[in-house]
Amino acid sequence: MNGPGEDPRKDGPDQAGSIELGRGCSVQERAIKWSFSRSGGPGGQHVNTTETRVQMRVPVSSIKGLDEQGRKRLASIAGSKLLESGDLLITRDRSRSQRDNRRECIEQLASMVAEAAVRPRSRQKTRPSKGAMDRRRKSRDQHSKRKSDRRWSPED
């Protein structure tokens, strides 16, 4: 945590101005726009007087370490959290503490970026084995015979 006299909004390794998101990705702290508002839910009078809901706005272009394909995957993962302006909007209000909600926003961003940073494996083409093709053919022949046996023929 932070010592006395330090900015309480800074969490962990972002003291140098960069927040590590994992898998070689990071974002400059100054690229993040924070806004705070009053949160609903339990908390009594405390909830009516403190601004604990946190909104974090991060331009996708400011996330370093993601290639173009990774940015596309991130856009897909983000879904409705991605705004038309190209910013990610993450909102948290689970905790009664603004610091905890800020931390959860950063963790959510880190999790989304980590998922987007992983390239999906390409599909390996495979062929059915000879035995599998024989079983399929035999099953098809049995099905065909069953159907043809149901048909009426004049020889009966």
Domain-embedded: residue 95: yes
Q: Which of 7-21, 51-65, 109-123 has the lowest mean pLDDT?
A: 7-21
Q: How far apart are alpha carbons 117 and 139 in whole angstroms?
A: 45
Q: Which domain holds residue 68?
A: 14-117
CATH number at residue 90: 3.30.160.20
Q: Which of 74, 148, 75, 152 is nearest to 113 (CA)?
A: 74
Q: How far apart are alpha carbons 79 and 13 in whole angstroms?
A: 28
Domain-embedded: residue 92: yes
Domain-embedded: residue 1: no
- The number of domains in the chain is 1
pLDDT at residue 156, rounded to an integer: 57
Domain-embedded: residue 36: yes
Domain-embedded: residue 149: no
Domain-embedded: residue 142: no
Domain-embedded: residue 5: no
Q: How far apart are alpha carbons 105 and 98 in whole angstroms?
A: 11
Domain-embedded: residue 150: no
Residues 6+ apart with CB under 8 A from 58: 27, 31, 32, 33, 87, 88, 90, 109
CA dihedral sign, ordered 103, 104, 107, 113: negative
Which pLDDT tens digit goes with each residue over 104-134? Answer: 999 999 999 999 999 989 999 999 999 999 9
